A = this chain, B = another copy of it.
Amino acid sequence: MSGLRASEIREILKVTERPEVISFAGGLPTPELFPVEAIKEVNRLVLEEAGTKALQYTTTEGFPPLRKWIAERMNKQLGTHLDPDHILITHGSQQALGLSGKVFLDEGDVVLCESPTYLAAISAFRAYGCEFIEIPTDEEGMDIEALEKIVTTNDKVKAVYVIPDFQNPTGRTWSLERRKQLAAASRKYGFVVIEDNPYGELRFEGEFLPAVKAFDTEGNILCTGTFSKIFCPGYRIGWIAGDKELIRKYVLAKQGTDLQCNTIAQMEIAKYLELYNIDEHIDKIRETYRIRRDLAIRTMEQYFPEGVTFTRPEGGLFAWIELPAHINAREVLEKSLEENIAFVPGGGSFFPNGGHENTFRINFSNMPEARIEEGLQRLGKVLEGFI
């Protein structure tokens, strides 16, 4: 158990359940866009058409029509070359990370990650006793030269973990060139890449880019995905895509973990994809989040004091704030909570090796525009007191 620690976000979320709190702490999709009526309909249809099959055990790999849709979608959106046998359905993309730890990591192994990186990936991997080395990361992604220096001098490196699209927590997106460079380095040095892609469909502007996985020639690169951000998270249906031999290992790991994903949830999503136009649905989500991002950026520009900088994400759910080096975001959080405003401090959360106490993350996907404006104005005032 020594490797496990609380997910700080979930703890803050509990504090922020009071309705008067304006919370930028979570990472929740906006619920008013969940297709409730369509889900009622597909539940009814699946139970009428498939009957008891939808309620029985099924294969670990997952429901074949859903795996087929995912492979085709990834090929179209991300430039991959997958067929359904490359896909394992997982209990959210979080399970794809947990299983990655189980498949690849032993005590003392090293995982290379962006700096900062996704909090729950740190805990998923750390449970298997690994260490992290953070690779310097800029607007275009990881510094691949810095990565290569570590790979060639540290024989404990087992895997590289990246979120190239609208990263959690920074909202940053890797350039095409860096994607190609990471794939080339993986080819050259033989390390595994775990490419986490929960937000990739939620692009507000600019061109969709191919996944790192699209440049995989050796079968060393795995790529996750999820229905949580484009359909609803309560179903807990995500996936991992990879080389068939590797996916076979994930299947064995999943059998010991929990046998299989929810049968009827998989069938309902497949039925939804058959009957409804998910692109139209995703367009609605993208448009809603784009408006909220625009407003968040505008409000921060107007009300955050000089010396505070922030990212301008082209998609996803998050933006990342850097304060002048002497300000501690945990102290800001304490003051903010007095004003009923919450966010997640970067130090102690998104940096596996600590530091960076002057940073924090905000989520802009999950609240009405008026609250975003009101909340960030209030937060601006709190920040004034620290400058």
Task: Decide: A47 and B39 in contact? CB cutoff 8 A.
Answer: yes
Q: Is A78 an interface residue (CB 8 A)?
A: no
Q: Is A222 an interface residue (CB 8 A)?
A: no
Task: Decide: B31 and A55 in contact? CB cutoff 8 A.
Answer: yes
Binds B, one of A227-235, A331-339, A341-349, A377-385: A227-235
Given contacts A94-B257, A95-B257, A265-B265, contact A56 B1 (CB under 8 A): no
Q: How far is the CB of A297 from chain B (nearest CB, A)?
A: 25
Q: Is A260 an interface residue (CB 8 A)?
A: yes
Chain B residues, Cβ within 8 Å of A265: 262, 265
Q: Is A187 an interface residue (CB 8 A)?
A: no
Task: Decide: A52 and B40 in contact? CB cutoff 8 A.
Answer: no
Chain B residues, Cβ within 8 Å of A56: 28-29, 31, 34, 232-234
Task: Decide: A258 and B102 in contact? CB cutoff 8 A.
Answer: no
Scan A62-97; emit 1 where CB is below 8 A from any B CB, else 0.
Answer: 000000000000000000000000000011101100
Scan A118-161; emit 1 where CB is below 8 A from any B CB, else 0.
Answer: 00100110110000000000000000000000000000000000
- How far apart sit A377 and B8, CA to CA, in the bound complex (Å)? 60
Q: Is A264 an interface residue (CB 8 A)?
A: yes
- How far apart sit A228 and B51, CA to CA, in the bound complex (Å)? 16
Q: How far is the CB of A47 from chain B (nearest CB, A)?
A: 5
Chain B residues, Cβ within 8 Å of A260: 236
Task: Decide: A234 and B58 in contact? CB cutoff 8 A.
Answer: yes
Q: Is A291 an interface residue (CB 8 A)?
A: no
Task: Decide: B32 and A259 in contact? CB cutoff 8 A.
Answer: no
Q: Is A180 an interface residue (CB 8 A)?
A: no
Task: Decide: B95 and A1 in contact? CB cutoff 8 A.
Answer: no
Chain B residues, Cβ within 8 Å of A4: 249, 252-253, 256
Number of copies: 2
Question: Which of B28, B57, B126 makes the CB contact (< 8 A) with A233?
Answer: B57
Interface range, A side: 35 or more
Given contacts A28-B57, A40-B44, A107-B107, contact A127 B256 (CB under 8 A): yes
- How far apart sit A55 and B228, CA to CA, in the bound complex (Å)? 9
In this complex, the member of A101, A234, A249 whose beta carbon has the largest number of chain B beta carbons within 10 angstroms is: A234
Given contacts A54-B234, A234-B56, A262-B262, contact A255 B123 (CB under 8 A): yes
Task: Decide: A39 and B55 in contact? CB cutoff 8 A.
Answer: yes
Task: Decide: A235 and B264 in contact? CB cutoff 8 A.
Answer: yes
Task: Decide: A55 and B234 in contact? CB cutoff 8 A.
Answer: yes
Question: Which of B28, B54, B259, B262 makes the CB contact (< 8 A) with A94?
Answer: B259
Chain B residues, Cβ within 8 Å of A107: 107
Q: Is A212 an interface residue (CB 8 A)?
A: no
Chain B residues, Cβ within 8 Å of A120: 255-256, 259
Chain B residues, Cβ within 8 Å of A124: 256-257
Chain B residues, Cβ within 8 Å of A53: 31
Given contacts A10-B255, A120-B256, contact A262 B235 (CB under 8 A): yes
Q: How far is the CB of A306 from chain B (nearest CB, A)?
A: 36
Chain B residues, Cβ within 8 Å of A29: 56
Task: Decide: A232 and B55 in contact? CB cutoff 8 A.
Answer: yes
Between-chain CB contacts (< 8 Å), 5 pairs: A28-B56, A43-B44, A55-B235, A56-B234, A236-B258
